[in-house]
A = this chain, B = another copy of it.
Amino acid sequence: MKIGELAKRSGLTAHTLRYYERIGLLPPAARDVSGNRDYDESILRWIEFLGRLKATDMPIRNMLRYAELRARGESTGTERRELLAAHRDGVRMRIAELQIGLQILDAKIAAYG
């Protein structure tokens, strides 16, 4: 799969895919005979997971830490779990904060009505 197709299937642009590779979020892509990036299906699962981390506001530098641990192999499991657990706790707090905001908005909107 070339970068254009991966772009379509992943929902990212080719620009962004190259950017992610450049900064280390994606592993260096294999190349075909003419030097174009040639992706394996499996990259889609990784991109999807990155998308989840992003959707929950994990900053790129932390995704990068996770990506590096992942690249280092099995032995980094504990660290990875800890990283995700810390992130999860942050997400929980963020949800709580948004719920408070929601209540205040509801009250304010009601006051206008």
Name A's B-contacting residues (CB within 8 A).
49, 52, 55-56, 77-78, 80-81, 84-85, 87-88, 91-92, 94-95, 97-99, 101-102, 104-106, 108-109, 112-113
Contacts and interface: CB of A to CB of B under 8 A. Distances in A.
A113 B81 contact: yes
A108 to B, nearest CB: 6
A77 to B, nearest CB: 6
A84 B94 CA distance: 20
Please report whether the interface of chain A is mostly helix, strand, loop or mixed according to DSSP.
helix
13 contacts: A52-B101, A52-B104, A55-B98, A55-B101, A56-B101, A56-B102, A84-B105, A84-B109, A91-B102, A94-B98, A95-B98, A95-B99, A98-B98
